[in-house]
Structure 1
Amino acid sequence: MTGGSRLFPGSPWTPLEMSPFGGWGLLSAFLALLCCTGSGEEAFEVRTWPEQLMVESGESQVINCSTTCTQPNTGGLETTLHKTLLAEQDQWKLYEVFNISQDTDVICHFTCSGKQESKSLNISVFHPPKQVLLKLWPTLVAVGRSFTIQCRVPSVAPLEGLTVTLLHGSEIVYSQTFVGTTLSPQEAMVTHNTTAHREDNRHNFSCRAEMDLRSRGGDLIHRVSDPQALDVYAVAPEADRYLRGASCLEEAEVGLPGIAYVSGMATSTAATGTQHGSLGLWFSPG
């Protein structure tokens, strides 16, 4: 109508102008209300320190429970172990748990504006190598003959990550890393057969056990056996023929210091060295 006010815009595609206090403002306020409903229960986190924990059987450990909630209502540590609260502030609590003898879980929890969150911490128990027992047999062996090195590590757990290394002086003779997930204590044993050499009596043999728990929140633990000596002797050609049935009698062969030699039924001792037995085992002084 001419001269009258129009109820609709001239074009159906022309949007209505709305102030922040008009319909669009009301819609925005409604969406904000939906978004912020329950904002008093906004998300928060619960954390534990350490995040991984591996302890020796029977030990105690300090555990910290913390939260990102600025004003938690309650919080604490749930566990079947005996515990003591050492210190606390609004956003953290420090506990000590005692006598951890088996694998267990502890739970840190906090309540913030009526909402509870928790975090579980698994505690794994290990049994370190306390004994490393080395055995050589025979302990007296001829050059070129075989002998056995055996190392036992009693009552260790877990076997996974345990490495047992046989050493001759500082040289590695043989090494074995164990696998498996058995957590109960058991014996780890390594047996290695090798051949005696003239230089084998110049250094002692030993065994080293290493338990690497670093990937599970622990440390690198190692222990070494007492050293063991191997007596090595050479067989003189004449003595070798005698041992095969010949009757040739010869004195002990002169050789490297510290090595014993076998000759036939020698009736006199050498100028240097000590005779052992009727077959003439000779140990030359070093």
Structure 2
Amino acid sequence: MLQLLFGFVFLAAVSQLVSLTGAQSECPLQLDPQRVVVRYGGSVAVNCNTSVLHKGMGWEASEGRVSMTKNQSLITWRVSNLREWDITTHCFINSNNSTQCQVDLPVTVYKTPDSVFISTVYHRGPMMEGQQYELQCDVHNVAPVQYLTVKWYKGQTLLHQTNFTDTIKTPVNETVTLLIRPDRADDGAQYWCEAELDLGAEGPQPHPTNSSKPLNVEVYYKPKHSNSTETIIQDDKVMLDCTVKVNPAPTYTWDHLKEKNNSSVLKSSALSPGKYTCTATNTLGRDSKVFIVKSTGAQSECPLQLDPQRVVVRYGGSVAVNCSTSVLHKGIGWEASEGGVPMTQSQNLITWRVSKLTEWDIQPYCYINRIQGAQCQVELPVTVYKTPDSVFISTVNHRGPMMEGQQYELQCDVHNVAPVQYLTVKWYKGQTLLHQTTFTDNIKTPENKTVTLLIRPDRADDGAQYWCAAELDLGAEGPQPYRTNSSNPLNVEVYYKPKHSSSTETIIQDDKVMLDCTVMANPAPTYTWDHLKEKSSSPVLNSSALSPGNYTCTATNTLGRDSKVFIVKSIGIRPTFWTVLTVFQLSIALIIVI
């Protein structure tokens, strides 16, 4: 029992001694709160207290300084109207062993923006569908900018956000831009930007935000019907509705009418069976729709069947389409600039066949001379295609590494492709689809197409691969999967300045100290250390000879520099053999007394 009691007393005494010696290396001051966030011109109050005897304690500050006092253990730094942006303040104490230590108080002085304004860059008025525009957000008189985030919205959808790394404490104006390529769905959309200050847990909650007024976007786009043909079965009254949504508003014209009509809708019981073509036109283009009016009686049908009903063929390839009938006739044949079939009266199935089709805009049709009634015909839609000779990606007016945050233009050249109305050019970064462009040209012969993409690379894009692909979607009758030709990848090198993930790091000193200042940067940075007895250019310090204190490392390359402060603290004085022996003797004496 006596031995057990001795063991407890001995361990408790050693533990108490180590605790005391360890505490001697810490500055015996506590701040409440430990960090403050205050609006410019606002009030602030922070307590500094101690639980040890001392020769004096006080606050050093450019505003609200508290003179040293010996008879208090709690003093308050107080400013009723703080108007210094980069204020530095610390509480200090003079201990009884004649050493002084201090605890710094981090102070963040902030100011919300005077205004947030959105505008278009070098553009006024309606935007054209498919073209690229630049929006600009101006944030006026905000501080500190390192806590600022500018967010872009379309309606309630977040599109993009920008953060800042500047360490300037005083108010600044910031301008950020956003590239958009509106389509017809964006007509009437509202874009706006928002400035948000995220000042951390000590800052105001929720985070202060200032928003711009919305920018109402008007988009001009050409007419595009949802389908190119519509079949109407003629009844008591026929209604042909050619109305199409478009901006600016279109005008309408009709072919095959006895009288001119500019209405988008035809309502009539006097239309005979046949085809009626309506064309909607505005300043950007036109689009037509064919209405096929059929009688409820069977006599209006042309008794011909095509198999297949549409063909897609590679330029120079072969094609064969059957035309058949199940009725008696005076003659059946094919009209075509290649592969025409003369009229015959003795067959009910004839084939249009071309072994090597080399006409881009061929328009074959099968016809029949009915025994009763006039001649009728069925047209065969033929799409002749050609995949590109090459697809090439390049940068426009630039060579070499790109600078982080700057804007660059990529170009994709697609050579000798047809028909371009079925072409889609897609942009990729790695395996991520960035953007795609379609075409509405109705030219049937091969063309060269050039499309561009604006990018603003950051450090995460260093080593990224951009590429473009030309895809021909020729519909269900075309080759599956779609014909795709891709460019070689464009390897992007991005130059960016050093930026540490944190500006300070606290190291508890043990047998050996390792200070790691390594940072990602391009070009590779050089390293310098302050507060060292011997010069070092290594990003890592391994040493057991570093005394407690602050060590500043600076990483520098051609684009800029960034510093990191390492705060080395001692874990306390280790008990020596004689200290332990003294504790042992005290423990024995205590046991004897007991």
TM-score, normalisation: structure 2? 0.31
Corresponding position of 2:63: 81
Q: By how many angstroms is 1:230 displaced?
A: 0.7
2:199 alignment partner, one of 213, 218, 230? 213
Q: Tell me, yes or no, if the aligned pair for 2:37 and 2:107 is still in contact at 8 Å.
A: yes
2:119 alignment partner, one of 132, 135, 158? 135
Q: Counterpart amino acid of 2:159?
A: V
Aligned identity (percent) is 22
Q: CA RMSD in A?
A: 3.7
Corresponding position of 1:106: 89
- Please say which of residues 105-114 and 53-62 is displaced more in the overlay: 105-114
Q: Tell me, yes or no, if the aligned pair for 1:262 and 1:280 is still in contact at 8 Å.
A: no
SS of residue in 1 equivalent to 2:248: strand
Q: By how many angstroms is 1:206 displaced?
A: 0.8
Q: Which structure carries more relative contact order (alpha carbon 8 Å, separation 6+)?
A: 1
Unpaired stretches in structure 2, ≥5 consecutive residues: 1-16, 225-241, 254-260, 265-281, 285-594
Name the CA distance, whole Å, in 2 between partners of 1:189 and 1:270. Answer: 49
Q: 1:140 to 1:64 in 2, by over 3 A?
A: same
Paired residues for 1:1-286 under 5 Å = 45-69=28-52, 71-72=53-54, 74-82=56-64, 90-98=72-80, 99-111=82-94, 113=96, 115=98, 116-136=100-120, 137-214=123-200, 217-219=202-204, 220-236=207-223, 254-256=243-245, 260-263=247-250
Q: By how many angstroms is 1:214 displaced?
A: 1.1
Q: Tell me, yes or no, if the aligned pair for 1:107 and 1:119 is still in contact at 8 Å.
A: yes
Name the CA distance, whole Å, in 1 between partners of 2:192 and 2:44. Answer: 34
Q: By how many angstroms is 1:280 displaced?
A: 7.7
Q: By how many angstroms is 1:63 displaced?
A: 1.0
Q: By how many angstroms is 1:218 displaced?
A: 3.2
Paired residues in the alignment total 212
Corresponding position of 1:249: none
Q: Tell me, yes or no, if the aligned pair for 1:133 and 1:226 is still in contact at 8 Å.
A: yes
SS of residue in 1 equivalent to 2:88: strand
Name the CA distance, whole Å, in 1 between partners of 2:92 and 2:173. Answer: 39
Q: Tell me, yes or no, if the aligned pair for 2:85 and 2:170 is still in contact at 8 Å.
A: no
Q: By how many angstroms is 1:262 displaced?
A: 4.8
Q: By how many angstroms is 1:232 displaced?
A: 1.8
Q: 1:117 to 1:183 in 2, by over 3 A?
A: closer
SS of residue in 2 equivalent to 1:260: coil
Corresponding position of 1:3: none
Q: 1:254 to 1:191 in 2, by over 3 A?
A: farther
SS of residue in 1 equivalent to 2:216: coil
Deviations 1:103-162 (A, max 9, x none): 122222344546454322242333333311111343412322333211111222332232
Name the CA distance, whole Å, in 2 between partners of 1:161 and 1:82. Answer: 26
Unpaired stretches in structure 1, ≥5 consecutive residues: 1-34, 238-252, 272-278, 282-286
Name the CA distance, whole Å, in 1 between partners of 2:151 and 2:126. Answer: 22
Q: Tell me, yes or no, if the aligned pair for 1:48 and 1:64 is still in contact at 8 Å.
A: yes
Corresponding position of 2:424: none
Q: By how many angstroms is 1:212 displaced?
A: 1.9
